[in-house]
Amino acid sequence: MKKLRNGFTIIEVMVSVVLISIVVLAIIKMQQESRGMALYLSDRSKYEFSNTLFLSKEISKYHKDKKDAYTLIEKKFQISDEKSRKILKETFRTIFISEPFNLGEDIPIVVNLNEIMLKEQYPTRFFHFEIN
């Protein structure tokens, strides 16, 4: 007659520990990837927000120039805070402006289009439309 066992064998315990550790490692890896993506998206959104500082009407005269944000907005805004001024002076973008592309040669409304490319850590493209 066979004896009933009261517990698990050492092999059963080891197999369950290995399976649990594999699942925990997979969860940790997923969490690290999610955290990395969240940090990337946060950094990218801050960068995109700072790109808007470079989208003035006067930007077209800075083709192939590397400009800081303070230089572009100092005439429009009085910035008295030294810390803000320093941050704006450290925010640089290299500006590329395409040649104007006329969208309305055959119609009475003439629309000119320029592509504005800002290059630094994350290159970005914007489009400037002008209706004459």
* pLDDT, tens digit, 9 for 90 and up, residues 20-59: 999 999 999 999 999 989 999 998 888 888 888 888 877 8
Q: What pLDDT is stored for residue 16 in this prediction? A: 94
Give the domain ranges of the chain: 10-131
Amino acid at 50: S
**Contact call for residues 95 and 75 (beta carbons, < 8 A):** no
CA 21, CA 10: separation in Å to the nearest integer? 16
**Contact call for residues 130 and 111 (beta carbons, < 8 A):** yes
User: Is residue 18 over pLDDT 90?
Assistant: yes
Q: What pLDDT is stored for residue 2 in this prediction? A: 66
User: Is residue 1 over pLDDT 70?
Assistant: no
**Contact call for residues 88 and 53 (beta carbons, < 8 A):** yes
Pairs from 107-114 (Cβ < 8 Å, separation ≥ 24): 114/60
User: Is residue 61 over pLDDT 70?
Assistant: yes
Per-residue model confidence as pLDDT tens digits over 79-132: 888 999 999 999 989 989 888 776 656 666 777 788 888 888 888 888 887 776
Look up the pTM and report it. Answer: 0.60
